[in-house]
A = this chain, B = another copy of it.
Amino acid sequence: MSIADLNAANDDIEAIMADIGVRARAAAKKLATIPTKQKDAALLASATLVRANAGDILEANAKDMEVGRSKGLSAPMMDRLMLDDARIETIAKGIEEVATLKDPVGDVMADWEQPSGLNISRIRVPLGVIGVIYESRPNVTADAAVLCLKAGNAAILRGGSESFHSSRAIFDCLEEGMTAANLPDGAVQIVPTTDRAAVGEMLKGLDGNLDLIIPRGGRSLVERVQNEARVPVFAHLDGLCHVYVDRDADLKMAQEIVVNAKMRRTAICGAAETVLVDKAAADRNLRPIVASLIEAGCEVRGDDATQAADGRVKPATNQDYETEYLDAIISIAVVDDVKDAMRHISEYGSDHTDCIVTENSETAVRFLNEVDSAIVLHNASTQYADGGEFGMGAEIGIATGKFHARGPVGLEQLTSFKYQVRGTGQTRP
């Protein structure tokens, strides 16, 4: 069926989405107490099916690629959309990896006894129903769904129209895997239309049947979701990460960290976008830092002092300090001291990940305590802002909000908790 046909057949978006919500809620109630073994069996079956159906997935992907070409999608968009055998294998391996992660549901987070004799424990439980709204990467279909599911949640997936057929083909494998392991109907659902009204229904919360939305994609998607969602959102709008090179920094370490923080991968949210150099040591540090960035292939834009240090530096405007380049470009500014660096970060930063390079432990402690970002690092690259590097296993993204999840969103962050209280007949005086 073509997308146009599907949309025509699905013209009552409100009713379709309401029904998806009801089915997801019913599934979530059952999933909450389903044994780990059964969830893992579903994951392993899905991985096997992804491998077995690689041909169908590639065929579906070819359709999406054709539509993409005819629409004139950009090269990076086409690359995000593209699947091949290696990428399909990565999807299957990713599913299997989540199966090996510890199930957080039922974990005893705390356990204590009160003078009343009551024993109180705080137990992890699933969150409920999680909506994932994503764009052109078809692999998110599997990556997101299996994380939600392993944490006992039902998932509603809404992929972008560009990856419609590919996502659908991957979803078919997941659905068959869930059925094979006897998971409840509706544990993972995909929105069967590319009509944008479906996203609107999700943002309204599906009559209370959607508990959380995770947007995966570009800035405009995240912004729309954050502005309009009537349910909690785990996301970050920008990853405008800073490296502050303090007067007491080891220069060689600073050069290595700055280059790695920017250039290891320029398009990830943990990539550094701005370097702040302490004035007190700018004479010593500025020129070599600029040089190592330019040698690594990075365009450097800087303030007057930075331009004076190296003729290859282009002028930076205020706009530069507000920009997440996601590219081999970086802005540099000289600051008065650590306090001025923190002021700059507070003014331009995005509460994501910021780093100080210094050998002065007092200055480091001050920076770690006072910078109000999800992740603050001392003498380490901002590219470590990653669930895997934090030991959380797979993650579904990085959140910069202060509620519930902050930093990498892994399995534990996809759970809530309840209090179980055990007594021997206590009545309250």
Contacts and interface: CB of A to CB of B under 8 A. Distances in A.
Given A118-B384, A427-B256, A422 B373 contact: no
Given A32-B372, A120-B391, A232-B232, A128 B425 contact: no
Contact of A419 (B212, B376, B428): B376
16 contacts: A32-B370, A32-B372, A106-B369, A112-B391, A118-B389, A127-B403, A232-B403, A257-B425, A377-B421, A378-B420, A379-B422, A381-B427, A381-B428, A384-B421, A384-B428, A389-B428
B260 A378 contact: no
Contacts of A257: 425, 427
B378 A418 contact: no
Interface string A366-405: 0011101111111111011000011100000000001110
Given A384-B116, A421-B375, A406 B416 contact: yes
Interface string A93-121: 00000000000001000001010101010
Contact of A125 (B29, B264, B372, B391): B372
B125 A427 contact: no
Interface string A119-160: 010000101100000000000000000000000000000000
Contacts of A292: none
Interface string A183-218: 000000000000000000000000000011000000
A407 interface: yes
A420 B379 contact: no
Contacts of A118: 380, 384, 389
A108 to B, nearest CB: 12
Contact of A428 (B232, B260, B417): B260
B260 A427 contact: yes
Q: Within the oligomer, what is the number of copies of this chain?
A: 2
B423 A379 contact: yes
Contacts of A259: 427
Contacts of A261: 427
Contact of A423 (B32, B106, B370, B380): B380
A111 to B, nearest CB: 12
A426 interface: yes
A260 B424 CA distance: 14
A211 B390 contact: no
A346 interface: yes
A250 interface: yes
Contacts of A211: 402
Interface in A228-258: 232, 250, 253, 256-257
A424 B379 CA distance: 5
A33 interface: yes
Given A261-B427, A376-B421, A380-B422, 11 more contacts: A120-B390, A212-B403, A256-B427, A257-B425, A264-B428, A374-B419, A376-B419, A376-B420, A379-B423, A380-B426, A404-B404
Q: Which 3 A-B pairs have the closest CB atoms?
A: A380-B423, A260-B427, A402-B416
A110 B283 CA distance: 40
Contacts of A374: 418-419
B379 A426 contact: yes
A343 to B, nearest CB: 11
B425 A250 contact: yes
A425 B375 contact: no
A257 B404 CA distance: 34
Nearest to A118: B380
Contact of A418 (B253, B373, B404): B373
B425 A370 contact: no
B128 A402 contact: yes
Contacts of A253: 425
A374 to B, nearest CB: 6
B421 A380 contact: yes
A406 B415 CA distance: 12
Interface string A338-370: 000000001000000000000000001000111
Given A402-B128, A402-B416, A404-B404, A346 B29 contact: yes
